[in-house]
Amino acid sequence: MSPHLESLLREALTPVDPPAHLVKRLEGTLVNITEFAHDELESWELSAMGDLRNWVRPAAAVLATATAGSALVALRVHGRRRARKQEAVNLLDLAERTLQDIAEEARRILPDR
């Protein structure tokens, strides 16, 4: 492979951060989905468990909470990656900081879980 082609590929495949307004909009949407699904789960009555037809909405709410909540954690943790990278001493320290950040963000999203 020629050096020119390698440099063109490297330039073309350089990661690009999305615009800040798009990140905020996505974060707001994920928060809304998570809160709506959480409210749906709270309103579900245990007495309705006997009929399987009543399980569709809570199952969808669980799926929406898990999906949107996970995406929200990933989005927020990803947004702080540069700061963690600068603070980290080595690769293991970076991994530990990232895992701590994931755990803290998950606790913020689902504080009573």
User: For residues 75 and 101, is the Cβ–Cβ distance under 8 A?
Assistant: no
pLDDT per residue rounded down to tens, the chain (113 residues): 677 888 888 888 887 777 889 889 999 999 999 888 888 888 877 666 777 777 888 888 889 988 998 999 999 999 888 888 999 999 999 999 999 999 999 888 876 55
DSSP tag of 19: P
pLDDT of residue 29: 94
pLDDT of residue 1: 60
Residues 58, 64, 66, CA angle at the centre, nearest 5°? 105
**Domain locations in the chain?**
21-109
This prediction's pTM: 0.69
pLDDT of residue 47: 67
- Beta carbons within 8 Å of 76's beta carbon, 6+ residues apart: 27, 105
